[in-house]
Amino acid sequence: MKKKYKGEFGYISYRKNVAIIRTAICLLIVVGLFVTGLIMYGSQKNVLSIIAALGCLPTGWSAVNMIMFLRAKACRESDFNKIEEAKGGLLIHYDHVITSYDKNFNVAASTVLDKNICCYTSDHSYDTVDLEKHIKKMMAQSGYSSYSIKVFDKLDAFLDRLSQLEKLRDEKGIDPAAIEDAWVPGTTQTPASVLLSISL
């Protein structure tokens, strides 16, 4: 299983598999310790049972993480292929779930260019306006308050917007990948990295 990083296509699937394996291993260890303690001491009151009880904390955390990724919706491969054909020199991040206090928003793809934030979702379980408001709020908290934010729930409309942004990128000679590569840890995050940082 090849490791995928946040923003790469296939990230949700990778994290889902990791969470399932990790949770299963943690659960086996907890149960194994508890059963071993019962067999060795003939009672629940033993040091292994205490260790098993403490092991329930990371197991529970892992299970919650697993459930969140099981519920997440990844970018479809057919959508990914079309976006890759249309993106030109734009930097596209895939497969991220933007989190908020009230809900989680599945985002199949996003791009940032010259004060424009553009996202695509194939998940129709939420209002795209809610996601736009949440992104606007998070961006403002990071010092980016004058950005145009648009979330598309139709792939063709998203692809059309990518074409417009690619034309703008070409005219202004912007290299989004170079901007991300030039970021220095400890300085203000780039808008694209802010989007990833508020995601699972």
The total of other beta-carbon atoms located within 10 Å of residue 170's CB is 11
pLDDT of residue 146: 86
Integer Cα distance of 171 and 196 in angstroms: 27
Residues 169-192: what's their mean pLDDT? 89
Cα four-point dihedral sign 98, 104, 107, 108:
positive
User: Mind listing the pLDDT tens digit for each residue in 16-25?
Assistant: 999 999 999 9
User: Mind listing the pLDDT tens digit for each residue in 60-99?
Assistant: 999 999 999 999 999 999 999 999 999 999 999 999 999 8
Residues 33-48: what's their mean pLDDT? 85
Are the C-beta atoms of 123 and 93 separated by less than 8 Å?
A: no
Which is nearest to 20 in space by CA: 58, 65, 66?
A: 66
Integer Cα distance of 37 and 148 in angstroms: 60
Locate tokens 């004060």: which residue? Answer: 115
Are the C-beta atoms of 119 and 199 separated by less than 8 Å?
A: no
- The residue length of the chain stands at 200
Q: How confident is the model at residue 10 (pLDDT cuts 50, 70, 90)?
A: very high
pLDDT of residue 40: 86
pLDDT value at 1 more than 80? no
pLDDT of residue 145: 84
Cα four-point dihedral sign 19, 25, 28, 33:
negative
User: Mind listing the pLDDT tens digit for each residue in 134-154?
Assistant: 999 999 988 888 889 999 999
The contacts of residue 40 (CB under 8 Å, 6+ apart) are 46, 48
DSSP structural state of residue 23: H
Kindly state the percentage of the chain with pLDDT values over 90. Answer: 64
Q: How confident is the model at residue 46 (pLDDT cuts 50, 70, 90)?
A: confident
pLDDT value at 11 more than 90? yes
pTM for the predicted model, two decimal places: 0.86
Integer Cα distance of 2 and 117 in angstroms: 29
